[in-house]
């Protein structure tokens, strides 16, 4: 089966790109499952229920989040009620929402998605390395295919997670930095790995934000309200192929499509 992991959707330009292009990409690549990180979908921070529902309608099967999961209060009840949207599993257990989803693809394959957050510069309530083995074992008990979104800053953390879960999951895909890395790898145990999937949004920017605003903040140290940039919009991510019966990955490559 073929899985598209869509990298961090940033603001309206990123949302529009997915809404306009995903139906045709699903067809063109024969996609069975689409997972998208949407933690920057609402003007660069967080996501709302309306935005999430529009992404589902466009062909996203499961939405993952990250350190901005709770920036929009409106989404809290939706995180509780809709099983297709995830926040990191190692956030506090009392925070709204869940960290694992199981969906059924058109051909009847059960696929699980697990969302984890790293520890460097981010607020992980529990170590992702402590919770990951148990979480993926639970996911594997009900699904053959397991995709992990590891939302983390450090390359080392992401590579280590890929190695820890090698042979236990179909793919470990890194998110959060918004810069796509050139290391799609099939690990020895049959797990697809990519350090960072990149960003779905405006690349004429500083990781999605208008360059002038970022420079003003860095150059003056004053608070500056960030706004999404507009130009050079791309859909980025990872394209994964796997054996649906065993969950073993057979191919992984970076994905990048220019929009406009």
Binding positions for Fe ion, rule: CB under 5 A = 66-67, 176
CB of 12 to Fe ion, least distance (A): 18
Instruction: Give least dist CB 24 to Fe ion, A.
Output: 28
Q: Which CB sits closer to Fe ion, 67 or 109?
A: 67
Neighbours of 222 (CB within 10 A): 7
CB of 104 to Fe ion, least distance (A): 29
Minimum CB separation of residue 105 from Fe ion in Å reads: 27
* Whole-number Å distance between alpha carbons of 6 and 33: 11
11 or 66, CB closer to Fe ion?
A: 66
Q: Are 160 and 132 in contact (CB under 8 A)?
A: no
Write down the catalytic residue from 29, 68, 151, 176.
Answer: 68
Residue 151 is among the residues annotated as catalytic for this protein: no
Closest CA to 123 of 151, 101, 97, 98: 151
Q: Which is nearer to Fe ion, 67 or 100 (CB)?
A: 67
Helices 11-28, 49-58: crossing angle, 10 deg rounding: 20
**Least distance to Fe ion from the beta carbon of 38, Å?**
11
Minimal distance, residue 77 CB to Fe ion, in Å: 22
| Bridge partner list, 9 | 200
Closer to Fe ion at the Cβ: 176 or 210?
176
Residues recognised as catalytic: 68
């Amino acid at each position: 089966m073929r899985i598209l992991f869509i990298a961090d959707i940033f603001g309206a330009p990123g949302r529009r790109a997915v809404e306009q292009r995903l139906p045709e990409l699903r067809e063109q690549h024969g996609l069975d499952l689409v997972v998208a990180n949407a933690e920057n979908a609402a003007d660069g921070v967080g996501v709302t229920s309306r935005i999430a529902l529009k992404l589902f309608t466009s062909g996203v099967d499961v939405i993952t989040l990250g350190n901005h999961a709770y920036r929009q209060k409106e989404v809290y009840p939706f995180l509780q009620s809709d099983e297709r949207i995830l926040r990191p599993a190692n956030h506090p257990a009392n925070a709204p929402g869940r960290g694992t989803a199981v969906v059924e693809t058109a051909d009847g394959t059960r696929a699980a998605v697990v969302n984890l957050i790293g520890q460097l510069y981010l607020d992980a309530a529990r170590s992702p390395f402590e919770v990951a083995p148990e979480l993926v074992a639970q996911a594997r008990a009900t699904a053959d295919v397991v995709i992990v979104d590891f939302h983390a800053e450090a390359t080392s953390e992401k590579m280590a997670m890929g190695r820890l879960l090698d042979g236990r999951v179909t793919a470990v895909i890194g998110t959060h930095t918004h810069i796509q890395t050139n290391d799609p790898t099939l690990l020895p145990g049959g797990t697809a790995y990519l350090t960072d999937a990149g960003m779905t949004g405006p690349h004429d920017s500083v990781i999605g934000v208008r360059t002038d605003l970022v420079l003003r903040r860095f150059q003056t140290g004053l608070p500056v309200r960030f706004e999404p940039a507009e130009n050079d919009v791309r859909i980025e991510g990872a394209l994964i192929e796997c054996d649906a019966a065993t969950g073993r990955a057979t191919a992984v490559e970076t994905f990048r499509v220019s929009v406009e």
